[in-house]
Structure 1
Amino acid sequence: KPGVMYMALRVAVIGAGAAGLCAARHLLSKPGTFSPPVVFESGGTVGGTWAYEERVGTYDNGRAIHSSMYQNLRTNLPKEVMMFPDFPFDPELDSFIPHQEVLRYLQQYCAHFNIAPHIRFNTAVERVRPVVMETTDKKPRTEWEVTSSDDAGSERTERFDSVFVCSGYKLYFLKWELMHSHSYRHPDPFSGKTVVVLGAKASAIDISMELSTVAQKVYLSHRPPPLTFPLPPNVTETESIQKIQDDGTVLFQDGRVVSTDSLLLCTGYNFTFPFVSGAELGVRVEADFVGPLYRHLMPPSYPSIFFIGLCTQICPFPHFHCQVQYCLAVLEGSVTLPSVQQMAQESDSWLEDRLRRGVPQRHLLRVEQEQWEYCRALANDANFCQIRDGVRALFQEVWRQRRVHPVLYRKHNYRLISDTQWERIAAHD
């Protein structure tokens, strides 16, 4: 209102991976509304899971190694689809790039928008707690008490007006006699061995193909339907695992029994936010589901803490780009939220509809083709640019190509030639 003085909002961002950097970039673009953010990063570098680490398990300081990159990973989305809409990749790169190039891109993004001075590296968030404040007009306002600790053991507690949770997924399952894809780095340790790979999504197929170059035999175990593309001669597709028997052999659903040297789980990751209480926020925080959240982003009772990037089977960087801008519009007041009761009802109705349709809990946040309408609705409400139709069309073409052949699809290169069109181009030398 004219003549009213406003204090710039202070925002905490948890994580300096792609989502956290995106949040910081847009917060810094609005200095009249937001103070420079404080970005908490438990590691020593930006990039999150894209920061490759040869070691697995924990760092010397006891903190978990977050990266799930393996040595030869290449993206399964072309850079033309994967990029943040306001920051393109180097056009000289091939469309499907190694993980080192994605990390370099995120480092360049960080440098271009001068984010690094606002990151507290080697600093973990221990607790996030809402504190309801009384104001002069008697309307309660929520502040957020954030407690963090650094590698020196120093702990501090600060107050913020909002929190962006951008800490990604964590390891789903890991025991000493098994290995999760999170801990896979390269195929050499499996040379001459028999390996059972559980799963049939992108990482399972990529790793199976890579293992086939050194392993004696690879069994690719997954639920129906069967794959529709050829596999290497030493890779056999099998049904799901029924049990691991007492003698260590693997019994599959079809009755086949296999003696294996290694069982590699490519089964996904957990949601884990040990620094927040789901009960306190009024949401469920479980291994494979967080919610119900309004617009997959915020607890209806506390619409100033935002969980960025919970949805799966999406185009991640553009998805973060849309979610962050919508959340900032909520904080600015340019998006007026429904009442708490209406937000809760809408969130509950969405969940009930998914469950009624038989969607298993582990897939509730898998949005796939719904992502485009979701992002379009966020953009319409918050008045920012839509994801281009050409990006959607190219994403769908690559999705189709990947089902035809999980290796050869990466030999293609693409270029966006307008807001609505793309073309296939010759590979770079």
Structure 2
Amino acid sequence: MKMTLSNGKVAIIGAGPSGLAAAKSALEEGLEPVLFEQIGHLGGQWNQGAPHSGVWAAMHTNTSAINTRFSDFPHKVGISLFPHHQEILQYLESYANHFNLLPYLRLHTRINNVARGPKGQYIVWSVNERQEQRAELFQHVIVASGRYNKPRYASLPGLAEFGGRVLHSFHYRNSADFAGQRVLVVGNSISGLEIASELGQNPTVRVLSSCRKPRYILRKQLYGRPTDCVAFTRAAVYTSRALAPAQVAEDLKQVILSTCGNPADFGAPRPHESLLQAGISMNDQYLDLAKQGRISARGGVAYFTADSVVFQDGQAEPIDAVILATGFDVNLPFLSQDIRDTLQAGTDHIDLYHHTFHPCLPNLAFIGMFPQTGPYFPVVELQARWITACWSGARPLPGREQMEAGLAEFRSFKQRRYETTLHEMATQLAADAGVAPSLERYPELARELLFGPLTPAQFRLEGHGALPGALADYLQCLEQIGSYAGLPLAEPQYQQLQQLLEALPQETTLHLLSKELETQAEPAL
């Protein structure tokens, strides 16, 4: 097979949100992308029916519209607060058309292998729908193939002998497929709760929901606003620095209990007293359905028989089907063994500096390949902007020593935690990309910059890639959730700020914010 030279082009693997953001960012930086997509349509997970999509027919986002978008392309007026998956696919299609990405898209083209080439380049082997193989040498490669496309099947005693239907949540499509059946949903992640809830609203289905570790359950709105706009803020970043993890968890638990209740009050298993031990999930209907008896919430599975499940408390229940909501493994089969070894690629994580670069793999970058709590759209776009700005020379690429230190921090992190969060990732990547909005330039946004949502529009206010219409867009996002710039602090916010000031006296930005907010709160003379 003859190898062709790509003349400095950027190979981008995957045409979902991450890949589209990468292609658009590359063009902004004067780089030419080649966007590979293995099927005949863009959209990634949001393209229901694609082999790599786990979207089901009635699925809506569990993240708000203002956080499920990119920084410079607002949703159409009237979109749902928590959009249907088809609305997100239409948004991605419109994004690709608006920014003229389609000419750079190679559909029906699967990547078989990516390996190191000469002079820091990479050899990319691909095959198209006519089974024509091609090898190309690229100066840069971005892996944007998705984190949630390889189902993880739990190893449960007796499951192999169970005679009913067994499937992963990735393959669930609608409740009608289980009409008249007794269905066990294993796992209480968001997908597990959503599928159990959808089944529970079908009167012909008897639903059992099992979990080894009961979690506290948030609803999709808190205090009248989307939960992702309340929980993921810069204040949350400062709080994690100021307080011990146990204190942060206890404070959050009290918020959940006061707004959503304890699952045990709804007939579900009682979570561990420590939120750090229990964890959090999210769903609007699950607890109410459990209280109504539409979902029978149980503990962990002990074993299966040919036609039943036996729980750890010894109770047995006849069942017809099992849905395993048991997570996903990292899936990078197209990377050479050498690259996977360098990344120390496991089932949960790959070792990267700020989840993006590796010091031993120059000109290779990754987008969205990490487990995260909270919306991904703001973060993957920041990654795309940072990567392409570094490769164009608009931003300095981190040095080897800096990356090695970051890798050491990540290896320590993954020993303690599985997921990162939106607020951790967005604030870090905005700093890396040099696009974090500053108080000095926008003093009237002091309250929202600290306690407001990390909606992507704010990352076009200043820095590389700033846009003149970003402020109006950002303010419109705030209005959509009933938040307005310039309002005084609420009492809980004031108390939280004072707590942070006492705990973090060295944080200059916090003190500037405090002074600005005090000025705004003073009565006019």
Bucket of the pairwise TM-score, normalised by the shorter protein = 0.7 to 0.9
- Can you list the C-alpha shifts for 1:222-279, whole angstroms capped at 9, x where unaligned? 112365332242201111223224x342222222222211110112222111110354
Q: Which runs of 5+ in 2 are unaligned?
A: 1-5, 154-159, 218-262, 264-286, 439-444, 456-472, 484-525
| Residue 160 in structure 1 maps to residue 138 in structure 2 | yes
- Matched to 2:11, the amino acid is A
CA distance in 1, matches of 2:130, 2:11: 21
Is the 2:188–2:215 Cα contact (8 Å) retained in structure 1?
Answer: no
Matches within 5 A, 1:23-422: 23-31=22-30, 34=31, 36-53=32-49, 65-133=51-119, 142-168=120-146, 169-173=148-152, 177-214=165-202, 215-222=204-211, 223-225=213-215, 227=217, 228=263, 229-230=287-288, 231=290, 232-245=292-305, 247-277=306-336, 279-280=338-339, 282-290=342-350, 292-311=351-370, 312-355=372-415, 358-359=416-417, 363=418, 366-368=419-421, 371-386=422-437, 417=475
TM-score normalised by the chain length of structure 1: 0.79
Distance of aligned partners of 1:349 and 1:78 in 2 relative to their CA distance in 1, 3 Å threshold: closer
- Higher strand proportion, which one? 1
Percent identical across equivalent pairs? 28
The alpha-carbon deviation at position 344 of structure 1 amounts to 2.4
The alpha-carbon deviation at position 385 of structure 1 amounts to 4.8
- Can you list the C-alpha shifts for 1:151-177, whole angstroms capped at 9, x where unaligned? 111001111111111110323146994
Distance of aligned partners of 1:353 and 1:201 in 2 relative to their CA distance in 1, 3 Å threshold: closer
| Residue 17 in structure 1 maps to residue 16 in structure 2 | yes
- Flag the structure with more relative contact order, 1 or 2, with Cα contacts below 8 A and sequence separation at least 6: 2
Larger radius of gyration: 2
Is the 1:278–1:284 Cα contact (8 Å) retained in structure 2?
Answer: no
Is the 2:196–2:207 Cα contact (8 Å) retained in structure 1?
Answer: yes
The two structures, once aligned, show a CA RMSD in angstroms of 2.8
CA distance in 2, matches of 1:210, 1:185: 10
- Higher helix proportion, which one? 2
CA distance in 1, matches of 2:364, 2:190: 31
Distance of aligned partners of 1:132 and 1:417 in 2 relative to their CA distance in 1, 3 Å threshold: same
TM-score normalised by the chain length of structure 2: 0.65
The alpha-carbon deviation at position 390 of structure 1 amounts to 5.1
Partner SS, residue 289 of structure 1: coil
The alpha-carbon deviation at position 421 of structure 1 amounts to 6.8
CA distance in 1, matches of 2:449, 2:42: 26
CA distance in 1, matches of 2:194, 2:200: 10
Distance of aligned partners of 1:309 and 1:390 in 2 relative to their CA distance in 1, 3 Å threshold: farther
* Count of aligned pairs: 370
The alpha-carbon deviation at position 287 of structure 1 amounts to 1.9
CA distance in 1, matches of 2:481, 2:413: 38
Is the 1:325–1:384 Cα contact (8 Å) retained in structure 2?
Answer: no
- Matched to 1:256, the amino acid is Q
CA distance in 1, matches of 2:399, 2:25: 26
CA distance in 2, matches of 1:378, 1:173: 29
- Matched to 1:254, the amino acid is D
The alpha-carbon deviation at position 341 of structure 1 amounts to 4.5
Is the 1:390–1:416 Cα contact (8 Å) retained in structure 2?
Answer: no
Q: Which runs of 5+ in 1 are unaligned?
A: 1-6, 54-63, 134-141, 398-414
CA distance in 2, matches of 1:295, 1:396: 18
